[in-house]
Structure 1
Amino acid sequence: MAAFRDAVTTWAAGGPGEPGHRAHTLAARLPVRTAVLLEGPSDVAAVETLAACRGRDLAAEGVCVLPIGGAMSAGRFAALLGPPGLGLRLTGLCDANERRFYARALERSDATRPGFFVCTADLEDEFIRALGTERVIALIRAEGDGRPLDTFLNQPAQRDRTTAQQLRRFFGTKKGRKIHYGRVLVEALGPDRVPAPLAGLFAAL
């Protein structure tokens, strides 16, 4: 499945004919039935971690989880993977302010349900609201990031923001931090606290 994901990513980036042929070949061999389109690697980390927590092997189920490199790429990936291309079922997560890109992608690719699940702001916001800001801060400190967090919170630009807004911004201040906490926050969730968009996504797989 990793090879299929790499072939699709290269194909979507405009690589020559070989990546497309390889994607078709791998899709038939595996076989792949569903593509989960996610904006970036931190979302992929969260989805894959939740799958592991639930004892699900998405690759074995024919589900390919793909980072598409931003919402504006949704149309390109949907055209390659949906009914006009490989004919896979399409689903995924998107941020509320990026919903239009995904809606347009589904319409253009003539994809049918289950469609995409929308986060109120983004997936980090969903986790913060599910866990509560105090719990999230405790997790950050337990991961050894207490000092960077305190330094960040003392910046003048953060003083007028809510704690939830500060935490969301903190996760994006260092390369790899959003990916790391995508795993940490999922692992901290109880079975009854999984955010609705993520729960809906898994129910559709």
Structure 2
Amino acid sequence: MGALMRFEEALVTWVAGGPEAERAATAARELAGGVRAAVLVEGDSDRAAIETLAARHGRDLGAEGVAVVPLGGATNIGHFLDVCGPPGLGLPLAGLCDLGEERHFRRHLERVGLAEPGLTPDGLEDLGFQVCDADLEDELIRALGADGVRDVIDGQGETRPFRTFQGQPAQRDRPLAHQLRRFMGTHSGRKEQYARALVAHLDPAVGVPRPLERLLARV
């Protein structure tokens, strides 16, 4: 296991608290010297998208010392800012969240002193924290278009499961974009699977979702 992965694991254990927290905090402090920046994201699918996009640009974020850390939900941002931000390790930070969770990020960035009260959406972006509208899946579906997403589903060998999903009573009358977005969340691990696959399918000439593009440029 590499040093960056050990750092990320120590960080998560530290935040979780409990009997191992003190040991994990010590380990995280020792390993933090090799960390150039920490990117705080809501979940594993966000990390998969960022790492896949970086690889398409010829970058290995791990080798660069950029830790992409899933929070396990946006409401945990405060705990991670306490250990990664000015109250803790004082690392350079960036992040990614859904539109509906923006308020959690703003409030805690203000609380730990990384932003003045009244942080605006533009100010949040300037700090390196990007917001998806409405979430990562929505951004990727709009970037690729429905036909492009269905091509990816075909490539993943899931055309039949998707058609079965479309036939469910709750989905039959929904717009296609809604069906696609909901399908990606139906099984554990599917959001991460499609984050990688959809980003790999993006056409740079057409455009990369702005939050992902700006985040990668930041780090």
- For Structure 1 versus Structure 2, the TM-score category normalised by the shorter chain is over 0.9
> For residue 15 of structure 2, what is the aligned residue in structure 1?
12
Aligned-partner Cα distance in 1 for 2:159–2:65: 40
Alignment of 1:112-123 (within 5 A): 113-123=126-136
Task: Work out whether residues 114 and 204 of structure 1, in 8 Å CA contact, stay in contact via their aligned partners in 2.
Answer: no
Number of corresponding residues? 203
SS at match of 1:94: strand
Aligned to 1:94: 97
Shift in Å, 1:175: 1.3
CA contact (8 A) 1:39 1:67 kept: yes
**Once the 2 structures are TM-superposed, how far is the Cα of residue 33 of structure 1 from its aligned partner?**
2.5
- CA shift at 1:53, angstroms? 1.1
| Cα-Cα RMSD | 1.1
CA distance in 2, matches of 1:111, 1:61: 24
Q: TM-score, normalised by structure 2?
A: 0.89
Task: Give the counterpart of 1:51 among 35, 46, 54.
Answer: 54
Q: Could you tell me how far 1:26 is from its partner in structure 2?
A: 0.4
2:180 alignment counterpart: 167
Give the distance between the partners of 2:36 and 2:157, measured in 1 at CA.
40
Residue in structure 2 matched with residue 190 of structure 1 by the alignment: 203
Residue 163 of structure 2 corresponds to: 150
Unpaired runs of 5+ in structure 2? 116-125
Say if 1:89 and 1:111, in contact at 8 Å, map to a contact too: no
Q: Which residue does 2:80 correspond to in 1? A: 77
| Same amino acid, percent of matched pairs | 55
SS in 2 for 1:99: helix
1:165-196 Cα deviation digits (max 9, x unpaired): 11110001011111111110010012242100
Of 4-13 and 102-111, the range deviating more from structure 2: 102-111
Residue aligned with 2:170, SS: helix
Give the CA deviation at 1:102. 0.6
Q: Helix, strand or coil: the match of 1:91?
A: strand
- Cα separation, 2, equivalents of 1:161 and 1:79: 41
Which of 12, 22, 29 is residue 24 of structure 1 equivalent to? 29
Structure 1: tracts of 5 or more residues without a match: none
Partner Cα distance (1:134, 1:59) in 2: 33
- Give 2:202's aligned amino acid: L
In structure 2, how many angstroms separate the alpha carbons of the residues matched to 1:143 and 1:178?
Answer: 13
The alpha-carbon deviation at position 143 of structure 1 amounts to 1.1
Matches within 5 A, 1:130-149: 130-149=143-162
* TM-score scaled by length of structure 1: 0.95
Which residue of 2 is the match for residue 126 of structure 1?
139
Deviation string for 1:93-151 (max 9, x for gaps)? 10000000111121112125523100001001100000001110121012110110000
